[in-house]
Amino acid sequence: MRQDHLITATQLSRDDIEAVLDRARAVADDPAAYADRHAGRVLALCFFEPSTRTRMSFDSAAKRLGMNTVGMGDVDSSSVSKGESLSDTVRVIEGYADALVLRHPSEGAATLAAENVSVPVVNAGDGAGQHPSQTLLDLHTIRENHGLDDLTVGIMGDLKYGRTVHSLAAALTNFDANQHFISPESLRLPRSVRFDLHETGAQMREHTDLEDVIGELDVLYVTRIQKERFPDENEYHRVAGEYRIDAETLEDASEDLTVMHPLPRVDEIAPDVDETDHARYFEQAHNGIPVRMALLDTLMENAEAAEGMEVDR
């Protein structure tokens, strides 16, 4: 990957993805070899909305590369609450760090941030937009379980606002993958994501009922349907119930089906699924470490090359 930033999954080619995933595999095989790779470098964790696992995962990945991390603390107590623009905030933070990881509630925030700084920016979620580092670890999980070609993937839940869905769908177009999108009518993929899928000639179908396709799937990627997306709570409960899976739902599935979820889950995957061989969502979360190490390593390497620095390996 020769990119300076990771902003959307649409920017990633098959080669980009495979290079990061190969490196992630190497990191997982021999983490000690990467331990001091970026010693003395600092990663800024700029989280403008709450996050536990993504922030901790980047924090841990950076430290395992020998980097230090700095965070902004609670947004309510930072200068953001005093009305400072994101453009100004990242320009200031750029002086404190060698790379930025950004989560922000507005779509396009990471694009704007990248335009204002010269250090690498990783989009760790921009509103209902994109979450491409999650996609890399999703793809790593799929690759380790099935490979990335000749693949049939079902993506279910909140496809309209689900940023992990938007990134995953875009990235899968690089591979020989059939994509099935399963959601209530009101939470179908947004026009912009469908546009990109059609532009790339992706093989895709949309469904309202998981039963229509479950037998065909190699991977079922489940996402949470959030209560706040529905004006009426009864309607939420009715819809959410239809997109909940349990061990019985999976009786019609292939033996090799992999069930994934970006987590946190609420009740869309029943605990009895955890006991089946299908469940891979905890493995998927753990893959965040080698994949984000590989990603940070790649971006730091690119930045150092761009600076023309001699890097001692």
Among 51, 60, 106, 249, binds other proteins (CB under 8 A): 106
> Is the bond into 50 cis (omega within 30 degrees of 0)?
no
Rounded Cα distance, 26 and 18, in Å: 12
Number of neighbours of residue 202 by Cβ within 10 angstroms: 18
DSSP 8-class letter at 104: E
Query: Tokens for 279?
Result: 């469940």
**CB of 191 vs other proteins, minimal distance in Å:** 5
**CB of 66 vs other proteins, minimal distance in Å:** 33
Rounded Cα distance, 313 and 309, in Å: 12
**CB of 135 vs other proteins, minimal distance in Å:** 15
107 is a site residue for other proteins (CB under 8 A): yes
**CB of 227 vs other proteins, minimal distance in Å:** 18
Among 31, 66, 71, 127, binds other proteins (CB under 8 A): 127
57-65, 104-112, 214-222, 288-296 -> range binding other proteins (CB under 8 A): 104-112
66 is a site residue for other proteins (CB under 8 A): no
75 is a site residue for other proteins (CB under 8 A): no
158 is a site residue for other proteins (CB under 8 A): no
Residue 43's DSSP bridge partners are 69, 99
105 is a site residue for other proteins (CB under 8 A): yes
Question: Are 26 and 45 spatial neighbours (Cβ–Cβ below 8 Å)?
Answer: no
Stated as kind and residue range, the H or E segment containing 194 is: helix 191-199
Rounded Cα distance, 263 and 287, in Å: 13
301 is a site residue for other proteins (CB under 8 A): no
78 is a site residue for other proteins (CB under 8 A): no
DSSP 8-class letter at 278: T
148-156, 191-199, 260-268, 281-289 -> range binding other proteins (CB under 8 A): 191-199
Among 60, 68, 111, 249, binds other proteins (CB under 8 A): 111
3-state SS record for 54-101: HHHHHHHHHHHCCCEEEECCCHHHCHHHHCCCHHHHHHHHHCCCCEEE
Interface positions with other proteins (CB under 8 A): 8, 85-87, 104-109, 111-112, 115, 126-129, 191-193, 195-196
